[in-house]
Chains A and B, each alone.
Chain A
Amino acid sequence: MDGLSVQHFIVLSAIVFCLGLFCVVTRRNALGILMGIELILNSANINYVAFARYGGGAYDGQIFAIFVIMLAAAEAAIGLAIVLGIYQTFDTIDVDATDRLRG
């Protein structure tokens, strides 16, 4: 991997992180926000695996990436269940419409 350094992967991860953040901030559809969170988790995973590769070849980074994927699966299951609950109550999943608790 002479042509590539750890910076390449960090820059790619930063780009994907910022696009995911953009998605979370601007989307008003609850499912779009969840997709932005998936992008952010993936960018963190790229950093973990890249540091594991360039930092001596231990398995810690890959283990953490697997834990992140596992937590993302749990988060997606709970998040989509909540979205379905919101849809049954409000008949929409636009997060601006779910303001019942606003004072």
Chain B
Amino acid sequence: MAGAAAFDPRPGHLLQPARFRLSRPEIRALVSTTTVAFYLLATLMTASSLGVALSHNIVYSAFALMGALLGAAGIFVLLGADFVGVVQLLIYVGGILVLSLFAIMLTHRIADVQVSNRSVGRGVATVLIGLVLVGMMRVAVRATWVTSDVAAPAPTTYGVGTAFLSDFVLPFEIASLVLLVALIGAVMVSRKELRG
């Protein structure tokens, strides 16, 4: 069965350790590249989230949200979840963000230079949410996270698809029903004839 063995779509097939085993300096370079990539993406995400939370113009907030979503997609790829990263790009950046921009343009006069993006109670919110952040940081740093050995990154699409159609087939079908209902509901809510 040489033909059957020629294509084996299981994860890990594309990464043959014997062929791509790296010498020690190269491994060190790889690790530092990963770390540098993480800190770059984390900086992008934090700065963009600050822009979303603090910007005075809602259009600037939307574009900062694009930076945060792109950073999250990069983090997913860094974590070896290539399929989730691509889904994030397609649905969030390509869909939800464009939808948000459409909503901004439809609900404000486009000619307005100052698009209202009011904030209230920033001082109190900063104190309270700072306390929440400190608590979360304490938990994140002090807790002992049970982790197992991290395997080499492998293509995940095969495994995710198999899981969707075997273990998670009922949630998968319910999800498609939810999307259909949401689509119909969005059309019904935003139709003009239903008002009054």
Taking Cβ atoms with an 8 Å cutoff, the residues of A that contact B are: 1-12, 14-23, 25-29, 31-32, 34-36, 38-39, 42, 45-46, 49-50, 52-57, 59-60, 62-63, 65-67, 69-78, 80-85, 87-89, 93-94, 96
| Interface membership of B99, Cβ < 8 A | yes
Cβ of B87 within 8 Å of any chain A Cβ, yes or no, is yes
Residue pair B38, A4 in contact (C-beta under 8 Å): yes
Bound form: Cα–Cα A25–B45 in Å:
20
Which residue of the partner chain, among B42, B62, B147, B187, contacts A6 with CB atoms under 8 Å? Answer: B147
Residue pair B189, A62 in contact (C-beta under 8 Å):
no
**One of B53, B117, B129, B171 near A67 (C-beta < 8 A):** B171
A52 CA / B75 CA spacing, docked (Å): 13
Contact partner of A76 among B84, B99, B140, B148, CB < 8 A?
A: B99
Residues of B within 8 A of A (CB): 31-32, 34-35, 38, 42, 45-46, 49-50, 52-53, 58, 61-62, 65, 68-69, 72, 75-76, 79-81, 83-84, 87-88, 91-92, 95-96, 99-100, 102-104, 106-107, 116-122, 125-126, 128-130, 132-133, 136-137, 140-141, 145-148, 150-151, 156, 159-160, 163-164, 168, 171, 175, 178-179, 182-183, 185-187, 189-190, 192, 195
Q: A18-B136, A29-B118 known; A1 and B107 CB under 8 Å? A: no
Q: Closest CB of chain A to B4's CB: distance in Å?
A: 24
Given contacts A32-B117, A53-B81, contact A14 B53 (CB under 8 A): no
Q: Is the CB of B118 within 8 A of A94?
A: yes
The minimal Cβ–Cβ distance linking B119 to chain A, given in whole angstroms, is: 4
A14 is contacted by which of B75, B136, B160, B187 (Cβ under 8 Å)? B136
| In the bound complex, CA of A60 to CA of B72 (Å) | 19
How far in angstroms is the closest Cβ of chain B from A81?
A: 4
Note all chain B residues with C-beta closer than 8 A to A78.
182, 185-186, 189
Taking each of B50, B103, B187, which has the highest tally of chain A beta carbons within 10 Å of its own beta carbon? Answer: B103
A70 to B160, CA, bound (A): 15
Chain A: CB-nearest residue to B175: A70
State in angstroms the CA–CA spacing of A73 and B178 once bound together: 11
Q: When the two chains form their complex, are residues A49 and B121 in contact, meaning their CB atoms are under 8 A apart?
A: no
Chain A residues, Cβ within 8 Å of B182: 73-75, 77-78
Q: In the complex, what residues of A have CB within 8 A of residue B122's CB?
A: 26
B46 nearest in chain A by CB position: A15
15 interchain pairs (CB within 8 A)? A12-B46, A22-B53, A22-B125, A22-B129, A23-B52, A26-B120, A28-B118, A39-B52, A52-B79, A66-B160, A69-B88, A70-B91, A74-B178, A88-B195, A94-B118
**Contact: A88 with B75, CB < 8 Å?**
no
Shortest beta-carbon distance from A71 to chain B in Å: 7
Please tell me if the beta carbons of B100 and A66 are within 8 angstroms of each other in the complex.
no
Known: A18-B133, A42-B92. 7 other contacts (CB 8 A): A29-B116, A32-B117, A62-B160, A63-B163, A65-B76, A70-B179, A88-B195
